[in-house]
Amino acid sequence: MHIPDGLLPAPVLIGGYALTGLGTWYSLKQINRRPDPSAETPKAALLTAAFFVASSIHIPIPPASVHLVLNGLLGVVLGYYAFPAILIGLFLQAVMFGHGGLTTLGVNTAMMGGAALLAYYLFQFHHSCQGFLGGNRALALFAFLAGALGVGLAALIFAFLILTTLPADVNAGAERVAIYGLMLAHLPLMVIEGIFTAMLALFLQRVKPELLKLG
């Protein structure tokens, strides 16, 4: 899922940093509108650590091996804090493990952080659906969809960027087959992350519901 250094042309890398700067500015602006912007910092730090560790948990799904992303889960639980949390997590992954890269940090953050924000917006629809679905059913359904959307949308963006920027000296046919195989491998991961996000949302709703009140 992480795009490493050396694959994307300079204009795409610059655009990635521009989008990440915009996303970070927008998220911090929304956070600073809260009565106490620092109140959610401990929760954000904890989930940043979970996002950081998730990349080391590999799941063998033929024809590839994928790893947990959890960006949809961060969107559900952190809201606007998810974007800067993912930026910090990706930076640490690149510096400490060489997972991803510094030149592609902007692209990777925009890809995963943008999907996390969309997952957050999708999750908020559970409030308006409680009347005909029931509170817990609506919560579980939209948490599942948000968790699946986070990883699914990031995988789509990843594939689009790689396929549209292939160098001329690369075997395009073989590369496309590999990317399509990787996309298929992420379909079960979408289900796994959706179920995990739904289970966590239901658990938090039962034991500490204020953690999900982000709107």
The domain ranges of the chain are 10-212
- 10: its two tokens: 């300079």
**So what's the pLDDT on residue 169?**
59
| Nearest-angstrom CA–CA distance, 141 and 125 | 10
In which band, very low, low, confident or very high, does the pLDDT at 126 lie, cut at 50, 70 and 90? confident
- β-strand partners of 58: 67
What's the CATH fold of domain 10-212? Arp2/3 complex 21 kDa subunit ARPC3 (1.10.1760)
Residue 173 CB neighbour total at 10 angstroms: 8
Stated pTM of the model: 0.90
In angstroms, the Cα distances linking 185 to 1, 15, 51, 62, 195 are 11, 28, 20, 7, 17
pLDDT in tens, 33-49: 988 888 889 999 999 99
Beta bridge partners of 94: none
> How far, in whole angstroms, is CA 110 from its chain's centroid?
9
Torsion of CA 131, 137, 142, 148, to 10 degrees: -160
pLDDT for the residue 146: 97
Q: Round the average pLDDT of the chain to a whole number and report it.
A: 88
Instruction: Among 8-22, 30-44, 52-66, name the one with the lowest average pLDDT.
Output: 52-66
Residue with tokens 């999900």: 212
- The tens digit of pLDDT for each residue in 181-209 reads 777 878 889 999 999 999 999 999 988 88
Rounded to whole angstroms, the Cα distance separating 42 from 37 reads: 11
How deeply is 204 buried, as exposed, middle or buried, from its count of CB atoms within 10 A (0-12, 13-18, 19+)?
middle
Which residue from 17, 1, 20 is spatially nearest to 161, judged by alpha carbons? 1
Question: Which tokens is 215 given?
Answer: 């709107």
